[in-house]
Amino acid sequence: MRAVLKRVAIIGGIVFLVLLMLYMTGVFRRGVIAPGRDVETSGQVYSDGEIIEVGREKIPQWYEAVGTVRPRTEARVSAQVNGRIVDIHVQPGQRVMAGDLLLRLDNREFQARLEQAEQGLAVARARKKQADQGLAGAKAVLAEAEANHERVKKYFGQQAATQQDLERARAVFQQARAGLEQAADGIGAANAAVEQAAQKVEEVTIALGYTVISAPVEGQITSRLADPGDMALAGRPLLVIQAAGHLRLEAAVREGLVNSIVVGQELLISIDALHKEITGTVEEIVPSGDPASRTFLVKVGLPPAEGLYTGMFGRLFVPLASRETILLPESAVSNIGQLEVVRLLEGEKPVAVFVKTGQRHGDRLEILSGLKEGDRVVAEVTR
């Protein structure tokens, strides 16, 4: 007999729990969240609350693509010549203007090379001066020899000079002309030597200038990769500068959605560390996807925001198709333990009904089950 009673008690308890669960999910009521037309909220007041007529609304859906805040322009400052670092004038976090001194390299070797090149240029110029003087002398000798040749030639026609005198004058004239050509060749060589020496001075001067490294852009020093005494090698980064006021979110968007995004489109972005949402503009969509994650990198420009720094975590919201759902003010939903309850009007009498809520949309909650279109609920009046 006791065993029978025990079985009956167990079965009764199970039946009670099943009925309670069915009631909580709204089985004994007239449907749950059936599709229908949009209904506007009424403004009637019922005793201690506002009567709200339940209706369906279209809400946008979003795909969240996670990303990282990065600088739009990041300058990696490196040396263009090899040299030992003498001093560094900046620290990470320091703001610099374009042209500000960043660091210096040991320039003694380049100073010595410049002095040697300048001496070579002085010698080449002195030789060119001598060549100019030689050319001027050769021109004078040629002019005199040419005049003498013409005079002897005239005398020979008048039989006042012999054939031997004419040949001697012609030989002197030809020799003077050859001397002029030789002097002209010397001028060409001297000019080439001066040009080569000047080019050498210019090259060493430029190399000497590379020992003083200045900021290429205005921005903030984000990383220092060397210290005084280190050897700077040409092409190896020494400092990293983040250009001022140019940040963007770089997010990985799944391949099925990347075609719905276009350059210039404005998208909503959430920066968790700032607890705020901002609007950014799509600047670039990298046309090559990641084969491992099947995502494409989308770069969205960010407006200036206080407290926004490189490396922060962000979420990019890509719009999807809207869907219909029921939304109620948060004041219409109360909690009993872990259960969520609304006051449903049956006739003119409020009755507690269990509901299941979903996402929050501003100050309203999405109702997943427990209510249907046309129901009337009582919400507390917020003041």
What is the DSSP annotation of 135-180? Answer: HHHHHHHHHHHHHHHHHHHHHHHTTSS-HHHHHHHHHHHHHHHHHH
The residue type of 343 is R
Angle between helix axes 108-157 and 163-209 (nearest 10 degrees) is 160
- Which listed CATH number (3.30.70.100, 2.40.420.20, 1.10.287.3510, 3.40.640.10) goes with 23-61+323-380? 2.40.420.20
Where exactly are the structural domains of the chain? 23-61+323-380, 63-72+243-319, 75-105+212-242, 108-209
Return the pLDDT at 103.
94
Return the pLDDT at 339.
85
Return the pLDDT at 18.
60
- Note the CATH number of domain 108-209: 1.10.287.620
Query: For 277-301, how does the pLDDT look when each residue is reduced to its tens digit (9 = 90+)?
Result: 899 999 999 998 888 989 999 999 9
| Spans of the chain, pLDDT less than 50 | 29-46, 383
The arrangement of secondary structure in 75-105+212-242, i.e. its CATH architecture, is Beta Barrel (2.40)
The DSSP secondary structure of 295-336, one letter per residue, reads EEEEEEEE---TT--TT-EEEEEEE---EEEEEEEGGG-EEE
Nearest to 39, CA basis, from 324, 317, 332, 265: 324
Query: DSSP code of 89?
Result: -
Return the pLDDT at 139.
82
- Which listed CATH number (3.40.190.10, 2.40.30.170, 3.40.50.80, 3.20.20.70) goes with 63-72+243-319? 2.40.30.170
